[in-house]
Amino acid sequence: MPKKTDYHVHPDYSLDAEQVKIKTYCRRALELGLKEICFTTHMEFAKLEQGNDKLVYYQGKPYSLLNYNWLDAYFKEIQQAQQEFKKDGLQVKAGVEIGYHRKYAKEIEKVVSQYPFDYVLGAIHNLAGYSIASKVESASYFAARDLATVQHDYFSLLAEAVKTGLFDAIAHLDIYCRYGMRHYGEQITTIHRGVIEPIFAEMAKRKMALEINTSSRSRLLKEFHPAKEIVALAAKAGLKYFTVGSDAHRLEELGRHLHEALSLLREFKLTNCVYTRRRAIPLSTSNLNQFTQHKQPGHSLHMANYGKHHQSGRH
Ligand SMILES: [Zn+2]
Ligand SMILES: [Zn+2]
């Protein structure tokens, strides 16, 4: 039996998630037989462009993304859960899902270097000011654009996000299919062809991971994000690190279809990974390898010091 891990979970700090506490998710993870759960609350920097900074949920209301008091509380809750659930054999990790926007790259760098994240998941949610992960906003975005424009907008931003070196993994790579399928039909499932290859080459060079995100199944798509064809291209490009995540925004979504996602990785002889302080630990190889699997030299972001942040970094 492969170890089951869920590396994409939105607790109540995410504005679009149900009010489910970190510990409640952990209890459910134990019931589901998960060995590891990684919380990845949203930090949607792209949305700051629209003049609204109340992008997280804290103290019973929408709260400023950039006032990191909420992030201190998030880490504290995760640390408490780590202690509480250790005896039951559940590892609890502190991650984040960052919606990339080029204008906020400096701010993103600041937050990921000041906080001791285990796992930083990069996502492209927002194109030309519209969230393509939202049914309503994506409809407005798609209505005025042909597929060549969608391809250009999405993959040029993704290439840039990869090259920043800020992210350990890329979330739900073909998220544009979520709502794009109903607008453009099957043709949207081909727009990665010819443009994803150099991006995967860069990700392989940087030892970045690709996420297999199972949320697509609950939206009546046949494939995961990304689709099998894209996973095959990732394997061909030499990507070594993969994670699996349910993208749960509700308790009942935790762990959904993880078994099938792990089967998909096995089919391509790919390795599911977990992360500790931004280092990938492949699960199917011996622990002897774990300390050699890190990002390329010169990457200083593992040096996060939470204690230091508490003294000087708050803003
Ligand atoms: Zn996402
Ligand atoms: Zn998510």
Task: Give tens-digit pLDDT for 276-286.
Answer: 999 999 996 43
| Structural contact between residues 153 and 146, judged by C-beta atoms closer than 8 angstroms | no
* Ligand 1 midpoint to CA 171 (Å): 6
- The model's pTM is 0.90
Walk me through the domains of the chain, giving residue ranges and CATH numbers: 5-313 (3.20.20.140)
Report yes or no: 294 and 279 within 8 Å, Cβ to Cβ. yes
> Of 6, 30, 10, which Cα lies nearest the Cα of 245?
6
Q: Please report which ligand is nearest the Cα atom of 10.
A: 2
Query: How many Cα atoms sit within 13 Å of 19 on the Cβ side?
Result: 6
Ligand 2 geometric centre to CA of 152 (Å): 23
Residue 297 has pLDDT above 50, yes or no: no
Q: Are 116 and 277 in contact (CB under 8 A)?
A: yes
Ligand 1 midpoint to CA 87 (Å): 31
Centre of ligand 2 to C-alpha 10, Å, is 6
Based on DSSP, count helices (H) and strands (E) in the chain, helices before strands: 10, 13
Question: Residue 219's pLDDT is what?
Answer: 74
Query: What's the CA gap between 26 and 220, in Å, rounded?
Result: 27
Contact 56, 62 (CB under 8 A): yes
116 CA from centroid of ligand 1 (Å): 21
Residue 68 has pLDDT above 80, yes or no: yes
Q: Which ligand is nearest to the CA of 9?
A: 2
Give, as one character, the DSSP assignment of residue 296: P
Ligand nearest to the CA of 253: 2
Say whether pLDDT at 303 is over 50: no
Structure confidence at residue 44 (pLDDT): 96
Model pLDDT for residues 111-166, shown as the tens digit of each residue: 999 999 999 999 999 999 999 999 999 999 999 999 999 999 999 999 999 999 99
CA 75 – ligand 1 centroid, Å: 20
How far apart CA 239 and CA 242 sit, in angstroms, is: 8
In this structure, which ligand is nearest to the CA of 123? Answer: 1
Gap between the Cα atoms of 109 and 301, Å rounded: 8
